[in-house]
Structure 1
Amino acid sequence: MKNYKSLKDLTNKVVLITGASGGLGEQIAYQVAKKGAIVVACARRKEKLDVVVENCQNLSKRLAYAYQLDISKPEEVEKVVNEVEEEVGPVSVLINNAGFGLMEDFLDFDMDRAEAMFRVNVLGLMYATKYVATKMAERQVGAIINIASMAGKMATPKSTVYSATKFAVLGFSNALRLELKPLGISVMTVNPGPIRTEFFDKADKTHNYLNSLGNIVLDPEEVAYKIVSKIGTSRREVNLPYYMEVAHHLYEVFPHMADYLTGGIFNKK
């Protein structure tokens, strides 16, 4: 029986990526293309997807595909997954990258935006996972990568709703991993700290957050390389940067000190 370890070689494997029109999703698409994968890039912005797909084809020397998708709409998710399976081929790897955040105090937060964030970051991810994993289970092979966040491990001021969505992704992924492993399907979560992408154009209204962090901001290409290098392994999590993983362990051991640091001198929002 094949299982996820056979996916270490991505040659001609179909890799479906949500939120692939820019930022980390775009860089992940390029990394899997370099490994000879058939890239299926999904996002709302079709014109940007077309550029990503063209770049992927140049890197992989294989066909790549763009599917316009609003991940917050379950009927669209099901339709796209079925079309990909019929028109491109069986999905071997699903990378749930679509998501957004807003850095605002909770008392001022628009709850319509909170619901929208849950529909994209959590429910959209769950629908995509269900529709793809059901087909993977029939084949007894597959890999699912859920892009969560260090905000799902260490909540900070002005990240209340975003952190809640990423805590949900982590809880979902940890249980799903146990359910799908006997079916030959791996589930890995990725918990990056701040990445220099357009994510913060929407999340940070001040446009000062990334600059205030200095050299600790992650490069999306490097993050994408590390994620893709773990496909086909039994790795449960990828936590970046390393010092934040250490900080998370300290956060659990010394919670009162952690509250003081994350809510005070380390709070850059």
Structure 2
Amino acid sequence: MTSFFKASVETLPSALLKQRSDANERAKKSRVGKVWLVGAGPGDAELLTVKALRAINTADIIFYDYLVSDDIRALFPKNVPAHYVGKAKNQHSIAQEDLNQLLVKQAQLGLTVCRIKGGDPFIFGRGGEELLELRTAGIEAEVIPGITSASGCSTYADIPLTHRGLSQGCTFVTGHAEKSLDVNWSALAQLNHTLVFYMGLTRADEIAAKLLAGGLAADTPVAIIENGCRRDQRDIVSTLSEFPAAVIREQVQSPALIIVGEVVRMKEKLQAQVQLHVSEKQYLLA
């Protein structure tokens, strides 16, 4: 029966075959599309969730951000179109409003769209704006959480964001603003929290000056984490008064996080334990 069906199709007039092709195309376009807003985490491909990887592998089209690492992009299916729509400082490949509409239109064509963001879509990722636009347009859309940079990068640097006796909480602050940062610096300085600044490199002087004026001690430890959770991660430890100079001296490049607080001192303690055990093993083997 299968061979008969195949033979029958092959003998159909070309006009009828074209009609069938057109009907299939219309059916595809009438299919309801969906958009996945996927958090890719801070860079290490092994930190992708199973759900995120499944969304990537079932997508008809992919749109990815600046902070999606090379290792993660290497996992994109080769036969699926992948388009860069990222934003670096003063370099926007597409306006946010246009991107929102692009996602809507692709879903309206019946496509399964995978919109991949570094970190987590809902933490300084404008995921809320995109989700609102999609759902307002009647598009089915779902968010897949990702490990946010503050958590992933600090962990890879051996810096706990909270630690008994050192920090009672953690506060995330964006260093991105058109003019000055609209932050209650005095309240921030008095929280007894670990402070994590995203996108704060170009405002290092302002961050240091305002926190010092708010009451934080000049010797408060600060960690600058460059390319966190990637093979070339670099950790630079300094103090609140000195870290702006360290940013310049070490020629720190984005992406980078700034972590302020007593928990930064745990890095040296935790790594000292590693070195102690390495030395013990070397002694026993000698």
TM-score of Structure 1 vs Structure 2, range by shorter chain: 0.3 to 0.5
Higher helix share: 1
TM-score, normalized by length of structure 1? Answer: 0.35
| Higher RCO (CA 8 Å, separation ≥ 6 residues) | 1
Higher strand share: 2
Report which of the two structures shows the higher radius of gyration computed on alpha carbons: 2
